[in-house]
Structure 1
Amino acid sequence: MATGDGRPFHPHIATGSQGDGVNEHLETMEPTLLWRHFRTFCNTPRPSGREEALAKKVEAWADARGLHHERDEAGNLLLRKPASPGHEEVPGTVLQGHLDMVSQAAPGVEHDFTRDPIETFEQDGWLHARGTTLGADNGIGAAAGLAILDDDSLTHGPLEVLLTVEEEASLVGAIKLREQWLQGHFLLNLDSEDEGQVYIGCAGGASVSTEAVLAEAPVAPGMAGLKIGVHGLKGGHSGLDIHQGLGNANCLLARLLDHLAGTGLQLADYDGGTMGNAITREAWATVAVPRDRLEHVTGEIERFARLYREELEGVDDGVTLSHEPASVERAIAAADTRRIVGVMHALPYGVAGMSRSAPGVVETSNNMGIVRLEQGKFRLQLMVRSLRDSARDELVARLGTLLELTGFEPRINQGYPGWTPDPEAPLLARFQRVHETTTGEVPAVKIVHAGLECGLIGAKHPEMQMISFGPTIRGAHSPDERVDIGAVQNFYAVLRAMVEDLARP
């Protein structure tokens, strides 16, 4: 049986839900092999840390295809395919992506990312998900790697496909990657998001967090409960989109609460953000305020709503502030409330500096991704990125000092390195030639202000040459995520051509 692109048909990964028609339209799209594998990715829940079900399906598919596969201690999955006859001696190629996805649902959408499939639809040449993140980051790249293994019409050297876990949770899988596991000499990272571009460097990063337990007490008589929300924001990727000046709901709500702290306001709970690497779209705080200041407080909320709309006009036009009565029985003290909202208000958000060596590229930034207060337990997580490790470490140190000065103990993870650009690498020159031959255009060479796994993999395999490329994806890490269907076709055509080119001596 033939595929729509003329290549031999091979059974794709079976899923329990494919028989009920979920995402069946993906079966009719080109390139056939890629979209069939991506259907499996959509139909199998795979939030960060919960990739096991998908990994097992990929392993079962590899067994059916007679492909070698193994896992390392972190759960990363490596598949190998021998070279085409006569090409055994050429340097091996590694195709690399990650299994997990960011789990974000639009307001009012109920979706269990540990159980429910991602439902997709086409509109105006783009593939979207209904009310959730799509998982094209990095499901398209990972599916492309499997499609290459699935394509017996290709001439290739020794092939490896590395699928890491928990990439969206600060690159956990790449950090824990087994030493000297890979055999290939070239690595094609398939986790970039702009057609016609090739990336040769990326930012490193680190997270700064704090946790504290604050005493709760019954609210005094004469206090009124209020639930305050900041919502309607676009959200986005805390690296790729940080330069746009998008509103961060945690920062906007903290600014309002800090302004209201003088009213005697007390925090009962707070819920803002789900991922450190996503710009927070909505945040909610339940507070108790003196009843005789309630009218003043609601008036200030409405004033700030107008202010935020003015400040974010043309950037985040949907920004909305809301308030409604709430039942509040217990809350933390006004002094602790002041500490929390004060430190949140003082912490920087957004671009901290632009690169001098790569004009137009953000060098250093910070994002306030997660804030929680529940039953007196306070948690805050920040995500720092930089092209320069020293600048990353300096901003991390400043954030830690600020937390200490406000009475919170900073927790700093070990961070991960950036990927140092090598514009003279032979692999880049080969890719530029292949890209121009395949598409008629020379790709733009870029450095990205986001964490790619290349830096970590390169640290374990310093002899390896690597580049990163992919199709056009917009709105990654938000429910607006979408992928350009035509760009996927072009991306896969370039990938196939590159694999065949690397099979030549």
Structure 2
Amino acid sequence: MNPEILKLTPAIFWKHFARISEIPRCSKNEAAILAFLKEQFQAWGLEWRQDAAGNLCARKPPTAGFEASPAVVLQGHVDMVCEQDTGRGHDFSCEPLTLIRDGSWVRADRTTLGADNGVAVAYMLALLEDKSCRHGPLECLFTVDEETGLSGALGLDPSLVTGRILINLDSDLPGEFITGCAGGSTTSAEWNAQTDAVLEPGWKLFKVFFHGWRGGHSGVLIHEPRGNPLVSAGAFLREMVNSAASWRLFALKGGDKHNAIPREAVLGIALAPKDGEQLRSASKKILQILERELGEHAQNVQIEVLPWEGPVPTRWLTPSSSIQAASLLSALPHGVHALSQQWPGLVETSNNLAVVKLKDEVLHLVTSQRSSVASQGAELSRKIRTILEKAGASVKQADGYPAWTPAKFSRLRDLCAELWPQVAGTPASVTVIHAGLECGILGDKLPGMDMISFGPLIEEAHTPHERLGIDSVGLVWKFLTKLLEALK
């Protein structure tokens, strides 16, 4: 544990944040963090329950004078997106995160930090332990598996909580109070490639490595001109199709999480000797396009053509199947599909081309659709399904999760807007976001719930560049404790 982190304030928050950073908590690998939480609840003499989905709820009695106050539910998820830089070699299943203070920020050593949503876990632990805060009855709800499909919230036993005021601590900009979010679903597919074991004599094997893309949270950053290496790989293959070169595909991989914009991609291409410069020509052309399209976001982008150094394949996509794979990849959309008519500047509907992997002659694809308008999200999913099925792929579409529609009247929202300027000295911003939050599901399961979402400053979530603003942690803690005191 980095002692520099423990010197930060509020100390009670950073103590807990540092501690949970030592515990593995990738999505679907949450047993250790749940066991730790139970130990803490028991040590503090708190009542707690766990439902069949794995969600935990710990209750803290009201402080003196607040016995008649309504119960408040604080909520966040225990899992994190686990991403790392190429070559880092971090084992998320057993190794602790290495926390680093970097000026006014805390980050991890070339991995995701887990501030999304470790800050919620740390804030709730701090509130459960702290004896100086004044508040009514507290119910701290720790949900599981948010990042891979919100399955914890979807499986929540409604009897786990009794309060009808909910503070979700899964937002990333201080002073911004979220009252609504997009819904979402995933569309995955498998496409059977045609292969053979025959490669013409003299052909050479190449690795085309797409790297330097910034990636990021597909709900928060999809509108930025960050590009997607899978899109560029599709454009690259389209250049090969349009050339006179003789080539065959034997490897294709990029992306890892449905809710993270990919940062890297790899193509394995066998090429006839006469066409040795064709790969570099296609690389140069795609890079020129990216410079125009992405501007400053393209400054670290690279497409390297390298000799293939992995195991020599024994089968290759046939020429026709290579062309079909190129056509399929380049046909799939990525990015903003429509802007909101109700909230100027907000993305209404989008698609993330998230994961593509060629394995055992099957091309696996995962895309993630989000929309604040259910009919628009469904229409985009239908279009993607049509593209995939026309290419001969088998398609699966998950049920997804609902959008969170802003309430017409909300005492909690009004109180946040009133108190924030008193604490921070700056105006509050009440808005909706394109990212998915568990609030939409929780609102369906818990009718009458008055909900808000806010949090400290987090940048580059779902990437190894994720970082947490130190000063914002204390500011949000001060606001949170004042808000709980005001909810009488």
**1:88 alignment partner, one of 67, 70, 93:** 67
Q: Would the aligned equivalents of 1:238 and 1:367 in 2 still touch at CA under 8 Å? A: yes
Q: Could you say if the C-alpha distance between residues 109 and 40 of structure 1 is closer, same or farther in structure 2, counting changes exceeding 3 Å? A: same
Deviations 1:404-426 (A, max 9, x none): 11111221000110100125311
TM-score of the aligned structures, taking structure 1 as reference length: 0.93
Q: How many positions carry a matched residue from both structures?
A: 482
Number of the residue aligned with 1:424: 409
Number of the residue aligned with 1:290: 272
Q: Which of 311-320 and 492-501 deviates more?
A: 311-320
Deviations 1:435-467 (A, max 9, x none): 222222331011111000000000001211000
Instruction: Write the mapping of 1:295-374 to structure 2, written as runs, cut at 5 A.
Output: 295-326=277-308, 327-374=312-359
**2:223 alignment partner, one of 243, 253, 274:** 243
Residue 299 of structure 1: how far off its partner (Å): 2.5
TM-score of the aligned structures, taking structure 2 as reference length: 0.96
Instruction: Write the mapping of 1:42-441 to structure 2, written as runs, cut at 5 A.
Output: 42-222=21-201, 223-262=203-242, 263-326=245-308, 327-441=312-426
Once residues 456 and 349 of structure 1 are traced to their aligned partners in structure 2, the CA distance between those partners, rounded to angstroms, is 26
Matched, 1:476 2:456: no
Deviations 1:233-282 (A, max 9, x none): 11111111111121111111111012213534322122201111111000
Matched, 1:447 2:432: yes
Three-state SS of the structure 1 residue aligned to 2:357 is strand
Once residues 191 and 411 of structure 1 are traced to their aligned partners in structure 2, the CA distance between those partners, rounded to angstroms, is 29
Q: Would the aligned equivalents of 2:82 and 2:462 in 1 still touch at CA under 8 Å? A: yes
Q: Which of 311-320 and 204-213 deviates more?
A: 311-320
Three-state SS of the structure 1 residue aligned to 2:5 is helix
Once residues 17 and 319 of structure 2 are traced to their aligned partners in structure 1, the CA distance between those partners, rounded to angstroms, is 51
Once residues 234 and 95 of structure 2 are traced to their aligned partners in structure 1, the CA distance between those partners, rounded to angstroms, is 33
Q: Which of 431-440 and 306-315 deviates more?
A: 306-315
Number of the residue aligned with 1:499: 484
Once residues 132 and 219 of structure 1 are traced to their aligned partners in structure 2, the CA distance between those partners, rounded to angstroms, is 41
Q: Would the aligned equivalents of 1:363 and 1:386 in 2 still touch at CA under 8 Å? A: yes
Once residues 478 and 408 of structure 2 are traced to their aligned partners in structure 1, the CA distance between those partners, rounded to angstroms, is 24
Once residues 121 and 144 of structure 1 are traced to their aligned partners in structure 2, the CA distance between those partners, rounded to angstroms, is 20
Three-state SS of the structure 2 residue aligned to 1:281 is coil
Once residues 116 and 215 of structure 1 are traced to their aligned partners in structure 2, the CA distance between those partners, rounded to angstroms, is 41
Residue identity opposite 1:148 in structure 2: L
Residue identity opposite 1:257 in structure 2: L
Identity score, percent: 36
Residue 175 of structure 1: how far off its partner (Å): 1.3
Deviations 1:189-234 (A, max 9, x none): 0000001110100010000000234343224223321111110111
Once residues 219 and 103 of structure 1 are traced to their aligned partners in structure 2, the CA distance between those partners, rounded to angstroms, is 39
List gaps (5 residues or longer) in structure 2: none
List gaps (5 residues or longer) in structure 1: 1-21
Residue identity opposite 1:42 in structure 2: S
Once residues 29 and 2 of structure 2 are traced to their aligned partners in structure 1, the CA distance between those partners, rounded to angstroms, is 21
Residue identity opposite 2:462 in structure 1: H
Residue identity opposite 1:492 in structure 2: W
Three-state SS of the structure 2 residue aligned to 1:312 is helix
Number of the residue aligned with 1:18: none
